[in-house]
Amino acid sequence: MDDFIWRALLAGLVVAMVAGPLGTFVVWRRMAYFGDSLSHSALLGIALGILTGVNTTLSLLLVCLGIAVLVVWMESRQQLSHDTLLGIFAHSSLSLGLVALSLIQGLRIDLMAYLFGDILAVTTTELYWIMAGGAAVLMALLMIWRPLLALTVNEDLAQVEGVRVDLMRLLFMLLMALVVAVSIKLVGVLLITSLLIIPAAVARQFARSPEQMALLAALAGGLAVVGGLFVSMQWDTPTGPSIVVVASLLFFLVNLGRASNSAS
Amino acid sequence: MPTNELLLRGSDLSFSRGGQLLLDKVEIAIHRGEIITVIGPNGAGKTTLVRILLGLLKPSQGRVVSESGLKIGYVPQRLQMDPVLPMSVERFLKTAGRFSQQEMIRALQEVGADRVLDCPIYQVSGGELQRIMLARSILRKPDLLILDEPTQGVDLGGQAELYQLISQLRDRYHCGVLMVSHDLHLVMAASDSVLCLNQHVCCSGRPEAISQHPEYLKLIGDSVGPSLAVYSHEHDHSHDIHGNIHTLDESKEEGHG
């Protein structure tokens, strides 16, 4: 096999290992739409980075975090519901990003790569960044696992018992922004949320404890990456969407299996 | 067995939101070994008061002082456990800290729920969940238990048992207990003192005295005579097949003063 395939495989497995456990919290805390808002705003971050000459990964992180804080702030002052607000943010930041990119003079970028990912084009340097970012997120998640789980059960209870709820919420958003930054090369801004929630949804069918669910989600994500790369090579399909398609297939197969088991 | 050791005191507590006064200069003090019950109609500000005492809400006026190092065991009004989170009762207890299996089994035995140790937490009944919450609280060896409507979703027989259990736990752990209830008659036997709340403190004192207190009788409605009041169950809600409470009419009970 060629080098670029190994790099793609490695990058994909790292992202799956991180997105799986983090995604379980996204599913438990019902934050799928929040993930969409974050990932869609990543494009705006990239555009701003190119415009200002700042490192695009850094500007992406800053914009994601800015959007996260803005959402939380708006929620406390608005009468609109959570999902309406998030919908507005997701689509307006995506559109703003597209408009900003089109305004940059003389820029020729592969927009499709940002929207749907281009994992086969991962360079060695990018691979190192993905590994470093992934390791950082995974370690941080391990460190805040217990308090984060406590506040997922009940925020009031966690706060009375000494968990710093606001800090944990902020850290969690930071981790999500990091995962978006790390996985953008893999599946693009439009599909990142699927890497967070589909493996977790697959894992829920088998898990008996929160920790099991996190590990199984990482495993399911890994399977989707391997399967997606294989499909993409075999039939020359776009890699990012192929990974998501395989993940979805896993989800439906698992649910079909469950349904027929409980029926008999 | 109330003592003189002051655990928590709220002085001059007022709270308003959107121009509406929800609490008006409330005074409350909880001592070790004492069970205080806050009663009052829907919308009287009971939960607001509890949230202020827990430090979850900042009062608009007044302050809360607690004994240094005070450890609070809190049982929220209604814990919703989502089946999307796979969690056994044992794992749930562990979210309160690190405990050995023996400690957890003993805590569950004390509340009479040890058979559910391995059950998924989202499948236990309302009454069992409240017992598990109590077990979780005592595992943390609290100085003060704060329970917001601990018998919600529990049938009448179960309610009396639960109050008895709370009283036993107070004796065994020698902690203070603050609970919220909407029904004086059920908590009478288990309370040392009762604080009747309707935005402000209407009256407070020993439960037998409160049940005859004119302010209390005015609050729960003139339709019920004083002699009947002690035995009646205020039906401001109905129970569905699962024992969940549905409020029928919140505006029926009007505040005064």
Contact B88 A161 (CB under 8 A): no
B249 compared with A111, residue with greater pLDDT: A111
- Please give the Cα distance from B90 to B105 (Å, whole number): 9
Q: A162 in contact with B at a CB cutoff of 8 Å?
A: no
* pLDDT confidence band for B256 (50 / 70 / 90): very low
Torsion angle, alpha carbons of B58, B254, B19, A72, to 10: 50
Mean pLDDT, 10 residues at a time, chain A of 264 residues: 86 94 94 88 88 86 86 76 85 90 77 86 89 93 94 92 89 89 85 93 94 96 96 92 95 87 64
Contact B74 A152 (CB under 8 A): no
Q: What's the whole-number mean pLDDT along residues B132-137? A: 92
CA distances from B150 to A115, A134, B32, B91 (A): 51, 44, 20, 22
Where helices occur in chain A by DSSP H, the ranges are: 3-28, 32-52, 56-75, 82-103, 111-116, 124-153, 155-160, 165-187, 192-204, 210-235, 239-263
Evaluate if pTM is beyond 0.90.
no
* pLDDT confidence band for B49 (50 / 70 / 90): very high
Q: What does the pLDDT look like over B83-127, one tens digit per residue?
A: 999 999 999 999 988 899 999 999 999 888 888 889 999 999 888
Tokens (6 digits) for B18: 């959107």
Q: Provide the 3-class DSSP secondary structure of residue B131.
A: helix
Q: Above pLDDT 70, what percent of chain B?
A: 85
Q: A1 in contact with B at a CB cutoff of 8 Å?
A: no
| Confidence at residue B244, expressed as pLDDT on a 0 to 100 scale | 59
Contact B95 A212 (CB under 8 A): no
Burial A177-207 (b: 16+ CB within 10 A, else e): bbbbbbbbbbbbbbbbbbbbbbbbbbbbeeb
* pLDDT confidence band for B251 (50 / 70 / 90): very low
Burial A99-130 (b: 16+ CB within 10 A, else e): ebbeeeeeeeeeeeebbbbbbbebeeeebebb
Of B54, B84, B91, the CB nearest to A28: B84
Contacts with B185 (C-beta within 8 Å, 6 or more apart), sequence order: B211, B230, B231, B232, B233
* pLDDT confidence band for B175 (50 / 70 / 90): very high
Lowest mean pLDDT among A121-130, A217-226, B14-23, B149-158: B149-158
Tell me which chain B residue has its CA closest to the CA of residue A150: B95
**Which of A:38-97 have CB within 8 Å of B?**
none
Residues of B with CB under 8 A from a CB of A: 51, 54-56, 72, 74, 76, 79, 81-82, 84-88, 91-92, 95-96, 140
- Please give the Cα distance from A225 to A245 (Å, whole number): 10
Nearest-Cα distance to chain B for A130, in Å, is 29
Contacts with A25 from chain B: Cβ below 8 Å: none
Contacts with A204 from chain B: Cβ below 8 Å: 84, 86
Tell me: pLDDT of B218 over 70. Answer: yes
Tell me which chain A residue has its CA closest to the CA of residue B91: A209
Q: Identify the residue among A26, A30, A31, A157 best suited for mutation to test binding to B, counting B beta carbons within 10 A and taking the highest.
A: A157
Of B51, B79, B86, the CB nearest to A209: B86
Tell me: pLDDT of B185 over 50. Answer: yes
* pLDDT confidence band for B229 (50 / 70 / 90): very low
- Please give the Cα distance from A262 to A258 (Å, whole number): 6
Tell me: pLDDT of B254 over 50. Answer: no
| Confidence at residue A204, expressed as pLDDT on a 0 to 100 scale | 94
Nearest-Cα distance to chain A for B241, in Å, is 25
| Confidence at residue B135, expressed as pLDDT on a 0 to 100 scale | 92
Residue with tokens 């005015």, as numbered in its chain: B218
Cα torsion angle, A106, A112, A114, A119, sign: negative
Closest by CA position to A160, among listed B178, B219, B106, B41:
B178
Of B72, B79, B84, the CB nearest to A154: B79
Q: A204 in contact with B at a CB cutoff of 8 Å?
A: yes
Which of the given ranges, B114-118, B144-148, B159-163, B223-227, has the highest pLDDT on average?
B144-148
